[in-house]
Structure 1
Amino acid sequence: MDQMLGNYYGIALYIISPLQAAQDTGLEVNFALSTNISTKSTEDFNNAVAAANASDVVIYMGGIDNTLEEEALDRESLTWPGNQLDLIVELETMGKPVVVLQIGGGQVDSSTLKNNPNISALVWGGYPGQAGGAAIFDILTGKRAPAGRLVSTQYPSDFVDSFNQTIMTCALTTAIVVLSRPIYVYPFGAGEIYPNFSLAIGATPTITTWDIINVTSQAHPEYNHIDMVPFLNQTFAIINTGSVTSDYSAMLFANTTNAGPGSYPNKWLVGFDRLPIIAPGETKSMTIPVPIGTLASFDDMGNIVLYPGTYDLALNNERSVVIPVTFTGLAVTLSVWPQDAS
């Protein structure tokens, strides 16, 4: 239960464990502690198998904890520690729905689970806090719909050995060649939601092209720096076309292939928002401001520069809605490194 809090927390008035939350649902719960985070022994696997045999749905709860990762303690591997995957294999061959809950602040390589048709669901719970058990079972029982997005990228375990991690250029060309496949298991921003949503541009922007000089020379009394000023407040219509009430999380990404010097990122985050409690058939409006500086990039001297060119603003990894944006004119330096005293 202590591990639910991670390693940055205040004094918890109570802790609701997943086991307590499961029992609080009123369902019949068969529990077995059959392995620990880093255990190699399989002597208690039979306890898990017996509990699974007596159940209709199997929920495996494991992952990583502060014995493997915390301040001043870095993990040396991205694999699931101990024999946890071995136990999950035994459980998933029983022909019952299997849910795998991964606890821990960082990610582990779940590619074998992702590609296993016998694994019904994979839930990342992070360090869920004092009411984490209740939150987890609200999701698993359908009381609440999951609407989160993955806050970090999950890489395959061999990714860490595919390039020299002491080189700080962030250039991964060599790694991509060595791996010869996608360099992630789940990308930043991944996430499933119970209902289906239909998305559309709520209000078509009247301007799709901006002159850089006009944008960067405007007065901005409400903002300390020009790069913080939104040049666009993009509105989206979010329609719940499913049968389950749900929140909706949105992440707005940008990408370009011609703005500024080469070596363009695949995409980068420029804004995000979350709408609560959208009922089936209901439409809600979401507006995401796009500050000028979010489309700028750094030059070789560390200066923040807004370059002319075309950009796409795309909603979520699925690119559900794509909005073209064009900046014209000459490049403008928004901020000089070191930061000006003014």
Structure 2
Amino acid sequence: MGFQRTLDGGLIVVLLVLGLLQGICGQPMYPCDNRVIPNAAVVYPFCNKALPINVRVNDLIRRLNLKEKVQMLVDKAGAVPRLGIPSYEWWSEALHGVSNFGPGTHFANPIPAATSFPQVILTAATFDTELWEEMGKAVSTEARAMYNAGLGGLTYWSPNVNIFRDPRWGRGQETPGEDPLLTSNFAVHYVRGLQSTDGGDPNRLKVAACCKHFTAYDLDNWNQIDRFHFDARVTQQDLDDTFNPPFKACVTDGHVASVMCSYNKVNGVPTCADPVLLNGNIRGKWGLNGYISSDCDSADVIYNTQHFTTTPERTVADVMGAGLDLNCGRFLGDHTEAAVKIGKLQESVVDRALFNSFSVQMRLGLFDGDPAFQPYGNLGPKDVCTPEHHRLSVRAAREGIVLLKNINRALPFSPTRIRSLAVIGPNAAAKDAMIGNYAGIPCRYTTPVKGLGIYTKTVHKPGCQNVACPRNPYLVRDAAQAASQADATVIVVGADLSIEAEMVDRTSLLLPGYQEQMVIETAKASRGPVILVVMSGGPMDISFAKHYDKITSILWVGYPGQAGGKALADVIFGKHNPGGRLPVTWYPQDFVARVPMTDMNMRPNPATGYPGRTYRFYTGSKLYRFGDGLSYTTYSHSLVQAPKLVSLALQTPNNSCAGIEKNMCNSVRVEHANCQGLLFDVHVDVDNQGSIDGRHAVLLFFSPPAGVHKGAPQRQLMAFRKVNVGAGGRERVHFSVDVCKDLSVVDEMGVRKLALGSHLLHVGDVKHTFDIQLGD
């Protein structure tokens, strides 16, 4: 008491509040918490939930001094004790389940784990938009439960929507694949699942998602070139029709709360310092309602590694002037105050950044006091690792698994006929490998050998010491002996995070180490059918297995999450009919010798022999195509409805064909076409000609007229739908085609155009030709 009498009264209050911010009886404190500031909503307008968000945010900003403001620009946002605001950590991850990778979330009692869904690349292989949204909802429920328990925040820097451009990229596993439409759709539906509230109020968020890493980021560490130094030289054509569309969809259709800029430069400028990319595209053209974050330490990298700027203060001015609102790292916290004081940066720019980030926090309810009295305040430990979420993780893994080979219908196995099973390979007992990167602590694990053991007696021999698989004849001998004595053999090979991960790009597409030889020797010795299971994020050159008859079936399982072993066993023993489709092209090994990872061009160059990239442009040989995937049944497709002619009107005389006779015009700018409501329907019947029910992904492609636009794709996915088709049954699938959106292509200048002439639709083995012509 004597000590308090010697202090200024205001300081006493600050010290008391600081103590309260540490928690009362171990409970975390929150902004606008009545335990800290009695009647907070009356005392401070920014705590008044009845006021519009912009009014609340502006009230909060005007109460902060410059020193307090700049400490709010970093991921570990500083506390403001005098206003009852505790520190907040923005960085949490939820790529495929709540993760403890970022410092904003940790697992402890009463929530020691969370549901670990399949890695994104496998989830994308389901081609199931409803599933993606359902997963997002499950993840956001577990995230809210952890927030209520004081174990996490509500801002999650997921999903990763970069294009999987090169098969060697270690982070390709985090992405939905190589196609911009597939990636865009995944982004939109997963973000909706994460963010949408039960009431659908756009001014409220369940959690805040973040689409990353903008843009043309798909190299981490290859051939002594790393992401911090890499300058991605990208054409405007490739930016506008390959790299940027998923981010645009995130903002315009998914209404994501945040976009993260990447480490790399694009055409000489670091993305986090590029006003055209940030203010121009994300904030301007696309209308982001939220904040733009840097990748972690990107601002520091710009100054200290890329040497793009000459002083820390100039760096702050460049990145914040370009549109950056939040810095993962300390750089803005350390240098923004000085930048303002020496006149490099206006304080109003700091206020703008805070407005964008505080607005998201307000929409989350972070300034509404104790979450127990908010929507979702009843969520807690009982809502994490639930049986329902586990079943969803099993379903996602099963639906994503891709059957690539099945000679003489070797699969599915019958438990009554396969009485013993040799389970071989470095990933046969995989646990951590199944969940990939940016994962948390799973609720449980079902390894492949454990899952298969549910159906039949198993003998497990690894064949390799680990996925690097140094040659070990004794382990190979044991594997071959087990295969020679079992009714069938399952060999689980592939990769893990030691082979492909963040900052670990591959140099080879072959199975690592001695894996291929181990597989061949085991298959030679096998008594029964041999199933090769590839567990990997990126594609592998398994040509030897594709053409080797002793290997009767091949399955790709990605990184299938906590329930991966159960999902695999359910597919192998026929409880689930596989329906996954490859979301990436699988290239032969010679691709890595012919194509440097640093060449960003999507289009081929016949003059140099450069083959291009992805199914849309690649002209070389391939092992498997984008969209490949078999089933235990047979599907056929028939086109019921599609147009023969689409008539296109021009909006104004000032158009692409001005001054040219209509029959001489071969292309129209989309902006000059009268596209309002220009739609047509495509109806496709899908027949299941077999005796097994299945879920089938119907992929609708188109090819534009040849020779009209330089660099136009050979084929382009324009729509897809996942449908249930019973044995012997038929389902009709309806697609609505937006002519100017779905059938246009981007020219060399980045202008979206619609070719006139003969277009080709593809669905399954069915092709249909129709014309687009100018009407009167």
Is the TM-score greater than 0.5?
Answer: yes
Per the alignment, residue 225 of structure 1 pairs with: none
Q: Contact 2:495/2:535 (CA < 8 Å) preserved in 1?
A: yes
> Partners of 1:306 and 1:166 in 2: how far apart?
31
| 1:258 CA displacement | 3.3
> Partners of 2:495 and 2:674 in 1: how far apart?
50
> Partners of 1:184 and 1:198 in 2: how far apart?
24
Structure 1 segment 187-336 matched on structure 2, within 5 A:
187-202=625-640, 204-205=641-642, 208-213=645-650, 216-219=673-676, 231-258=679-706, 260-276=708-724, 278-291=725-738, 292-316=740-764, 320-329=765-774
Q: Contact 1:212/1:327 (CA < 8 Å) preserved in 2?
A: no
Amino acid at match of 1:46: R
Q: Contact 2:702/2:717 (CA < 8 Å) preserved in 1?
A: yes
Amino acid at match of 1:270: M
Amino acid at match of 1:311: H
C-alpha change, 1:259 and 1:307, in structure 2 (3 Å) is: farther
Per the alignment, residue 478 of structure 2 pairs with: 47
Q: Contact 2:711/2:748 (CA < 8 Å) preserved in 1?
A: no
| 1:38 CA displacement | 0.6
Q: Contact 1:105/1:126 (CA < 8 Å) preserved in 2?
A: yes
| 1:86 CA displacement | 0.5
Amino acid at match of 2:674: S
Matched, 1:105 2:552: no
| 1:165 CA displacement | 4.0
C-alpha change, 1:240 and 1:115, in structure 2 (3 Å) is: same
C-alpha change, 1:298 and 1:285, in structure 2 (3 Å) is: same
From 467, 470, 475, the counterpart of 1:37: 467
C-alpha change, 1:73 and 1:163, in structure 2 (3 Å) is: closer
| 1:118 CA displacement | 1.4
**Larger strand share, 1 or 2:** 1
Per the alignment, residue 602 of structure 2 pairs with: 170
| 1:282 CA displacement | 1.1
Matched, 1:74 2:519: no
C-alpha change, 1:46 and 1:164, in structure 2 (3 Å) is: closer
C-alpha change, 1:10 and 1:325, in structure 2 (3 Å) is: farther
| 1:182 CA displacement | 4.7
C-alpha change, 1:176 and 1:143, in structure 2 (3 Å) is: same
1:215-261 CA distance string (max 9 Å, x none): 942546xxxxxxxxx72231111111111111111111111333633
1:310-338 CA distance string (max 9 Å, x none): 1111014xxx22222321139xxxxxxxx
| Residue aligned with 1:51, SS | helix
| 1:16 CA displacement | 1.1
Matched, 1:139 2:545: no
| 1:96 CA displacement | 2.6
Amino acid at match of 2:731: K
Per the alignment, residue 224 of structure 1 pairs with: none
Per the alignment, residue 582 of structure 2 pairs with: 150
Q: Contact 1:56/1:96 (CA < 8 Å) preserved in 2?
A: yes
**Larger helix share, 1 or 2:** 2
> Partners of 1:258 and 1:49 in 2: how far apart?
52
Amino acid at match of 1:40: P
Amino acid at match of 1:2: D
Aligned length: 312
| 1:201 CA displacement | 1.7
> Partners of 1:163 and 1:248 in 2: how far apart?
34
Matched, 1:57 2:488: yes
| Residue aligned with 1:69, SS | coil
Q: Contact 1:16/1:133 (CA < 8 Å) preserved in 2?
A: yes
Identical-residue share of aligned pairs (%): 27
Per the alignment, residue 115 of structure 1 pairs with: 547
From 1, 8, 13, the counterpart of 2:443: 13
Q: Contact 1:212/1:308 (CA < 8 Å) preserved in 2?
A: no
Q: Which segments of 5 or more consecutive residues in structure 1 lack a partner in the other structure?
A: 221-229, 331-342
| 1:199 CA displacement | 1.5
| 1:198 CA displacement | 2.3
Matched, 1:90 2:521: yes
> Partners of 1:120 and 1:236 in 2: how far apart?
32
> Partners of 2:643 and 2:504 in 1: how far apart?
52
| 1:74 CA displacement | 0.8
Amino acid at match of 2:484: N
From 22, 38, 58, the counterpart of 2:452: 22
| 1:176 CA displacement | 5.2
Q: Contact 1:30/1:51 (CA < 8 Å) preserved in 2?
A: yes
Q: Contact 1:208/1:326 (CA < 8 Å) preserved in 2?
A: yes
| Residue aligned with 1:168, SS | coil
Q: Contact 2:507/2:592 (CA < 8 Å) preserved in 1?
A: no
| Residue aligned with 2:697, SS | strand
C-alpha change, 1:212 and 1:129, in structure 2 (3 Å) is: farther
Q: Contact 1:208/1:324 (CA < 8 Å) preserved in 2?
A: no
| 1:207 CA displacement | 5.5
| 1:265 CA displacement | 2.6
Amino acid at match of 1:105: G
C-alpha change, 1:110 and 1:6, in structure 2 (3 Å) is: same
| 1:309 CA displacement | 1.9
Q: Which segments of 5 or more consecutive residues in structure 2 lack a partner in the other structure?
A: 1-430, 613-618, 652-669
| 1:11 CA displacement | 3.6
Q: Contact 1:259/1:309 (CA < 8 Å) preserved in 2?
A: no
| 1:210 CA displacement | 2.7
| 1:88 CA displacement | 0.7
**RMSD (CA atoms):** 2.2
> Partners of 2:535 and 2:601 in 1: how far apart?
31
Q: Contact 2:447/2:566 (CA < 8 Å) preserved in 1?
A: yes
C-alpha change, 1:296 and 1:86, in structure 2 (3 Å) is: same
Matched, 1:185 2:623: yes
